[in-house]
Amino acid sequence: MYYIVLKGLYLRLLQTLLKFKQNLKMKKTYKKLLLGLAIIVGSGANSQTIYPYTGATETYTVPAGITKISIEANGSRGDVTESYSGGGATMYGEFDVSPGDVLTLYAGGNFTGRKSGGDGSWVENTTTSTLFIVAGGGGCGSHASAGAGAPVTNDGTASLTHPDYPDGAPGIDGHGGGAGVGPQGTGGGGGWFSAGADGLGSPGGLIRCMGSHGTDFAGGAGGRYSGGGGVDMDLGWGTGGGGAGGSYNIGTNQDNLPDNNAALGEITIDEICDPISGTVSTTTVCIGDSFTASASGDGTITWDGGLINDEPFTPESVGITTYTATSDDENECSFSIEIEVVELPTITTYIREERDFCEGEPVVIISSGADTYTWDGGIFDGEPFYPPAGMTTYTVIGLDTITGCENSASIDVFVMDPIVITAVTTLENIGYDGEIDITVTGGTPGYTFDWDIDGTGDYDDTEDLTGLTVGVYIVEVEDEIGCTGSLTVKLESQLGLFDDDEIVFSVYPNPTSDVITISTEGNFAYQVLSVNGAILSNGVGFNTTEVNLTDFAKGVYFVNLQANDQQQVLKVVKK
């Protein structure tokens, strides 16, 4: 028990010392030697993240404002308990990234089992499906036979110790290595695209992760971008060391060292620029609307696409556009925002019954293309209203509640001028010489006339009447499109011999939107009543007077009129 504990402490100390020795060889290395979980190390505004071997893949998410990182990947040495194992490669490069990119990575180690080859270490941008960097693992040695050190080239290496025997071929182009053919032959190291071949003595390394196992007589091959070759071995041949895994690097400013890492694998990611801070008023605007963006840092900030810090900017096209702010300080990262420009809703309107309307007729307008509609003129979509005479333009604003975008549309409504009838009467005596001459204006000419004389007789299609006696004459006029108007004419003798003292009242316009005019001869009193008989307004007048109904709700009202002990009730519509 004590032996096992002491051996574990010894191995840990040995790995640390070997790592310290290796770090003296690297020009760009700035690390903390830590075992366990990843640690963030601050460097000014930049951060450094170290991923030691854990036996599992991990992820790194590019922070906001970071567009460039450096990666140092160290492949694992072959079995660290074997002093003749080959070292892992150390690969360094710098890479362009975008904030939010997710990088998947694996820091190599030694798979459980005797004389295992070293795993490679690798980093892939899984957001863009781009392999960034791979550091090959070293082959394991056996006794006095050395395992191969990992190269910085893409292809793996073969065994160093059996040039005259059929050792496994090294992997090329990202594939696993071949296996040795003897009964104690080891499998090849695993590659990026395929696993290592299985040997009779041990299996091949797994794809993307593992070197291969060894045997009592031969060390396993290292794995990585291309796996190392396995060792051909029989009981009578002595010992042999496995080949090493190849490496891969697409970064800039590369600094790569073969056979460099004498410990377990490790990956270090540095954010190599200082983020500049930025804000944006909104990330979604309607076409025609503007947004405001701002970015700041130690240097002078310049936006692309025509943006200027803190000034409203109106995009010209629908879709998603990326705007980037850059600093003239080369140590500062760029800052990018994505703005989505949304199309406005297309609003259409139509009149439910498309025609010219008579005054007092209800009109209904229907809209489509949005979720809610707001009309001017106090009207509502799909509800009847009573427009005035003439041409009136109504405008609606339609809102798309999902995008928040609005658009407008207009429609013209034409209402015919009201039919106005005036009359001139003559009756010199009580005989049948009376005449009524009327004049009609408004509406659409082409009038028809329907006369009612004291409720007992009609004269149709006659504009003027002659040969009349005293009495009450009512004429209804209809124009060419069906609009109507009426007038009551009281014909009496100038000698006052007419005994019918019936008083004739008129109330117009009816329907009305605001004011009615009450007309009769002489003094009169009036009351405006609701449909349930409540008195809403009252007063007196002489000949004509106006009554304001502006504050009344739309609906039906009654006007009670009284004069000379006579009373008449007329219905009025408020629209």
Rounded Cα–Cα distance for residues 440 and 389 (Å): 17
Residues of the chain with pLDDT under 70: 1-46, 111-113, 163-164, 209, 427-433, 454-458, 492-502, 531, 565
Q: What are the phi and psi torsion angles at 377 (to 5°)? A: 75, 10
Contact 155, 246 (CB under 8 A): yes
Rounding to the nearest 10 degrees, give the CA dihedral for residues 112, 114, 120, 123: 10
Quick one: pLDDT at residue 124? 97
Q: Is the dihedral of CA 297, 299, 305, 310 positive or negative?
A: positive
Quick one: pLDDT at residue 495? 37
Which residues lie closer than 8 Å to 431 by C-beta, 6 or more apart? 469
Sheet holding 457-460, edge to edge: 457-460, 448-453, 471-478, 484-491
How far are the Cα atoms of 36, 222, 523, 571 from residue 104, in angstroms, in the given order? 18, 21, 98, 83
Residue 142 is classified by DSSP as B
Contact 523, 542 (CB under 8 A): yes
Contact 177, 168 (CB under 8 A): yes
Quick one: pLDDT at residue 197? 92
390 torsion bin: left (phi>0), alpha (psi -120 to 50), beta (else): left
Q: Do domains 277-342 and 416-502 have the same CATH topology?
A: yes
Rounded Cα–Cα distance for residues 90 and 509 (Å): 97
Place of tokens 């000014």: 44
Peptide bond into 511 cis (omega under 30): yes
Element containing residue 401 per DSSP (H, E): none
Rounded Cα–Cα distance for residues 194 and 178 (Å): 11
Quick one: pLDDT at residue 491? 75
Contact 436, 462 (CB under 8 A): no
Q: What are the phi and psi torsion angles at 330 (to 5°)? A: -65, -15
Q: Is 240 helix (H, G, I), strand (E, B) or coil?
A: strand
How far are the Cα atoms of 34, 72, 126, 152, 154 from residue 254, in angstroms, in the given order? 25, 10, 22, 11, 14
Q: Nearest-CA neighbor of 76 among 311, 239, 353, 267? A: 267
128 torsion bin: left (phi>0), alpha (psi -120 to 50), beta (else): alpha
CB atoms within 10 A of CB 81: 15
pTM of the predicted model as reported, rounded to 2 decimal places: 0.51
Rounded Cα–Cα distance for residues 504 and 510 (Å): 16
Give the CATH class of 416-502. mainly beta
May I ask the CATH architecture of the domain 277-342? Sandwich (2.60)
One-letter amino acid of 375:
W
Rounded Cα–Cα distance for residues 79 and 77 (Å): 6
Sheet holding 420-426, edge to edge: 420-426, 434-441, 465-468
Q: Nearest-CA neighbor of 381 among 395, 365, 394? A: 365
Place of tokens 């800052």: 335
CATH topology of domain 503-575: Immunoglobulin-like (2.60.40)
Quick one: pLDDT at residue 392? 94
Q: What are the phi and psi torsion angles at 469 (to 5°)? A: -110, 180
Q: What are the phi and psi torsion angles at 6 (to 5°)? A: -65, -40
Q: Nearest-CA neighbor of 279 among 252, 305, 264, 301? A: 301
CA 20-22-28 angle, 5° bins: 100
One-letter amino acid of 45:
A
Extract the tokens encoding 295.
Answer: 């970015």
Place of tokens 């310290």: 20
Rounding to the nearest 10 degrees, give the CA dihedral for residues 303, 305, 310, 314: -170
Q: Nearest-CA neighbor of 60 among 109, 126, 108, 119? A: 126
In the chain, where are the structural domains located? 277-342, 348-414, 416-502, 503-575
CB atoms within 10 A of CB 554: 13
Task: Transcribe 431-465 into DSSP letters.
Answer: SS-EEEEEEEESS-S--EEEEEETTTEEEET-SSE
One-letter amino acid of 401:
T
pLDDT tens, residue by residue, 163-212: 667 888 999 999 999 998 888 888 888 899 999 999 888 888 888 767 88
How far are the Cα atoms of 230, 365, 386, 392, 509 from residue 377, in angstroms, in the given order? 88, 13, 11, 10, 20
Quick one: pLDDT at residue 432? 58
Contact 560, 567 (CB under 8 A): yes
Rounded Cα–Cα distance for residues 243 and 199 (Å): 14
One-letter amino acid of 335:
F
Quick one: pLDDT at residue 74? 97
Q: Nearest-CA neighbor of 140 among 120, 153, 159? A: 159
